[in-house]
């Protein structure tokens, strides 16, 4: 789970680069960044709690939401999509 300070930092970083400003938290690229950091944070939880199937469902929903947002960003602006996945380290 991200703290409020971490969310502000992510929104400021990605909002300034991909959005309209440092407080643009509604931008799809910013939402993808927030979801990615939440998903990466859950990795530690699942290393400790292997049989937590209820949280696993939430993780899969977040992954699906991120996938839909990435598809939207790719459709609207391919250059922004490439720089976003490179910055977040999503595709290899």
The whole-angstrom separation of Cα 73 and Cα 92 is 18
What's the rounded Cα separation, in Å, for the pair 72 and 69?
5
Output the pLDDT for position 92: 58
- pLDDT (0 to 100) of residue 1: 80
pLDDT digits (tens, 9 = 90+) for 3-16: 999 999 999 999 88
CA-to-CA dists, residue 89 to 45, 55, 81, angstroms: 21, 24, 12
Q: Domain of 72?
A: 4-88
Q: What is the pLDDT of residue 50?
A: 92
Structural domains of the chain, count = 1
Domain at 74, CATH number:
1.10.287.10
pLDDT tens string 20-79: 888 888 999 999 999 999 999 999 999 999 999 999 999 999 999 999 999 999 999 999
Determine contact, residues 32/65, Cβ cutoff 8 Å: no
């Amino acid at each position: 789970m991200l703290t409020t300070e971490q969310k502000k930092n992510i929104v400021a970083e990605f909002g300034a680069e991909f959005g309209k400003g440092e407080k643009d938290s509604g931008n799809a690229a910013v939402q993808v960044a927030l979801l990615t950091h939440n998903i990466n944070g859950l990795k530690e939880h699942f290393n400790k709690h292997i049989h937590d199937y209820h949280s696993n469902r939430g993780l899969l929903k977040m992954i699906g939401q991120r996938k839909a947002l990435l598809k939207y960003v790719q459709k609207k602006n391919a250059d922004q999509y490439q720089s976003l996945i490179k910055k977040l380290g999503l595709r290899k």
